[in-house]
Structure 1
């Protein structure tokens, strides 16, 4: 059957009777079943395709800004000594909002950073930066002829769909002769990989029908301690032609691997998943408290207060502060395009509010 991006077909076989018990589409390297695939799509793109994926990237782009901005407000704010009834209510809401925000701060920054590596536009920029500095994850060389290995994507089989800009359609490539895959080859390839040190309880075998290409056998046990060693095996001679171990990963590649797995809730098993659930619940409460605080602090009479817009505060800055802020803003807008576009929309609305307040 035809499978979508990062999808494959799983056949469930009784190992004792060899009876096929079921066939289901599964998602990713870990082979999650349809219900979890649906939940994953809900988290990744709200079941709206690319539009929803852009919305998800928008949230990840601004999450770290909101977290650090809240920290700055908490550090620079001072509680009034005397308050009336409404002021005490605001003070209490601010206390709970800021306290919960401090508890969740590291998690907010972590999920923003790891989420952006999955995103479409910012993720491409992050990958380009890593490739430029040689921070990509090493990959085995599958060519049985002299060739250079290519970097491997930590998100392979997870949340990454093919990027349109990487589409190779229309390019003329030499066609390699196809070779038949024999079932007996799997046993030989697995034995060769096992002898080379592939000992994890979960492995993935990626055969190929292309001549002069090796099969890939990878450990896919993402729990701590991480087991993701990979070997390339010649399916004709069962000779291991290349090997990459997790110990060979650079520091940034290891941190990326651990970050991705922790984000997915697999690095530390059930404890990881319970922590994610608690964080998600805490984040929902934090958002509700934030909106509640905003509502309590709204001006009683809008017309009696100046519109403290971004334009208003921009005009209060000195020349050097304006220049520094402009450089940082442009850099972030280019690096995080969805943030940049949303910021332009926000500035347009803000300028209209400021103009209306002046008139």
Structure 2
């Protein structure tokens, strides 16, 4: 066999093997991709949706006079809804209400909305944290499947990895190889399979970069991959600089448990302790004044200490990620113990924060959200067109999966690529092993039938 014909044969096997894996992976992750796209599209506009659903709680009539003191607003909230104070969110704008977070006698965590000018209690919602409302909390949990359980969360992590691989394999399958038609244009009509084949290929070409970006910027928050990425970033000094938290004693409570939205690079770092565990706690009014003097961006939230050695923790995750900040203040003296902004993070920490901010449609305002919405719509079209293409080509009563040429084995380059990607995306690697076992068993059954 000449070198040219041998390369051609290997190329044919490689093409069909990648096509087969692309086919099966696409069918398996299709429901999850649709779930991610639909919930992600909704969550992009969570603030607007929350304002529409709960305008009577979130919006107020701006007044020319000064707002009431935070302590007055908290007192009004606790009078209307008795409980223990957990947190306070100053009104982020003149037309916004202040939020008082409490834990009721029944243990339920609620957010009480108060007009900052009149002190009128506007109403209460179950505390949904950064999601802003119970319905957006549900959407957020569905997006990650964290509420379903450990296994479902790992599945979503695997889906994110497979989306990256599907993009790479799809680009390989799309490559023209001398073909001129159907490369960047769509042939035929919707009645023809070639129409759906071209639509799938061209759509994939357009949204491929968005798929990779969304998958990779979502993975830092995943259970296994994200934890390893966090550990490596920290050990290399590229996440949270080593020693930043060593100036004062620290608790065993991670930051993510006391604030609604903790920066990725420090969410697992322990919250510091106050210098003493006794005395007269600082007044909330003074804490707010200190934070305003420090220049905290509007929209920040304050977590109230619940233990004698606890601290006040203020955090903000604004649209302008450069103003992201976490500040800890001593419970008694009100002294600033830690003041961390985006500039204090390492290279990977800053990159992760920028990536997540864009991923959530925050960094560049409405344009950011509209571009991502269009990309998500394109990904839905990609999934649907692939499904329709398969349905039109599958034989009656059969699956219609691409098959390998008879007598050929999977090429070594593909196995090496699978090994490398399986190590980089462990959940993908586990699913690959499962697929290989099923393929091997299926091949054995076919061999027995033809023997």
Shorter-chain TM-score bucket reads: 0.7 to 0.9
Deviation at 1:350, TM superposition (A): 1.4
1:24-73 per-residue CA deviation (whole Å, 9 max, x = no partner) reads 22333x35101111111222218633343233222112000001110111
Q: Name the structure 2 match of 1:308.
A: 404
Q: Name the structure 2 match of 1:57.
A: 157
1:70 aligns with 2:170: yes
Deviation at 1:292, TM superposition (A): 2.4
The counterpart of 1:98, out of the listed 182, 194, 201, is 201
**Residue 322 of structure 2: SS of its match in structure 1?**
coil
Q: Which stretch shifts more, 247-256 or 203-212?
A: 203-212
1:267 aligns with 2:367: no
Q: Name the structure 2 match of 1:173.
A: none
Q: Name the structure 2 match of 1:35.
A: 135
The structure-2 alpha-carbon separation of the partners of 1:20 and 1:212, relative to structure 1 and needing over 3 Å to count, comes to same
Unaligned runs of 5+ in 1: 161-165, 169-175
Q: Name the structure 1 match of 2:225.
A: 122
Residue pair 1:233, 1:239 contacting (<8 A) in 2 also: yes
CA distance in 2, matches of 1:150, 1:78: 60
CA distance in 1, matches of 2:443, 2:308: 66
Q: 1:189-338 maps to which residues of 2 (within 5 A)? A: 189-195=287-293, 197-211=294-308, 213-221=310-318, 223-224=319-320, 226-298=322-394, 307-308=403-404, 315=409, 317=411, 322=412, 326=415, 328-338=417-427
CA distance in 1, matches of 2:297, 2:180: 59
CA distance in 1, matches of 2:243, 2:120: 35
The structure-2 alpha-carbon separation of the partners of 1:159 and 1:230, relative to structure 1 and needing over 3 Å to count, comes to closer
Residue pair 1:144, 1:213 contacting (<8 A) in 2 also: no
Residue pair 1:60, 1:113 contacting (<8 A) in 2 also: yes
Deviation at 1:257, TM superposition (A): 0.8
CA distance in 2, matches of 1:22, 1:218: 24
Residue pair 2:324, 2:341 contacting (<8 A) in 1 also: yes
**Residue 120 of structure 1: SS of its match in structure 2?**
coil
Deviation at 1:232, TM superposition (A): 2.7
CA distance in 1, matches of 2:243, 2:287: 15
CA distance in 1, matches of 2:296, 2:316: 8
The structure-2 alpha-carbon separation of the partners of 1:75 and 1:341, relative to structure 1 and needing over 3 Å to count, comes to same
Q: Name the structure 2 match of 1:18.
A: 119
The structure-2 alpha-carbon separation of the partners of 1:229 and 1:119, relative to structure 1 and needing over 3 Å to count, comes to closer
CA distance in 1, matches of 2:350, 2:255: 12
Deviation at 1:356, TM superposition (A): 3.4
CA distance in 2, matches of 1:148, 1:135: 23
1:160-216 per-residue CA deviation (whole Å, 9 max, x = no partner) reads 9xxxxx9x9xxxxxxx9855885x621212222333x33311112223244555422
Deviation at 1:108, TM superposition (A): 0.3
Residue pair 1:64, 1:112 contacting (<8 A) in 2 also: yes
TM-score (norm 2): 0.61
Q: Name the structure 1 match of 2:110.
A: 9
The structure-2 alpha-carbon separation of the partners of 1:108 and 1:141, relative to structure 1 and needing over 3 Å to count, comes to same
The structure-2 alpha-carbon separation of the partners of 1:220 and 1:34, relative to structure 1 and needing over 3 Å to count, comes to same
How many pairs were matched up? 327
TM-score (norm 1): 0.74
RMSD across aligned C-alpha pairs, in angstroms? 4.2
The structure-2 alpha-carbon separation of the partners of 1:209 and 1:299, relative to structure 1 and needing over 3 Å to count, comes to closer
1:259-304 per-residue CA deviation (whole Å, 9 max, x = no partner) reads 11222222233333333322222111111111222344446897xx
Deviation at 1:128, TM superposition (A): 2.1
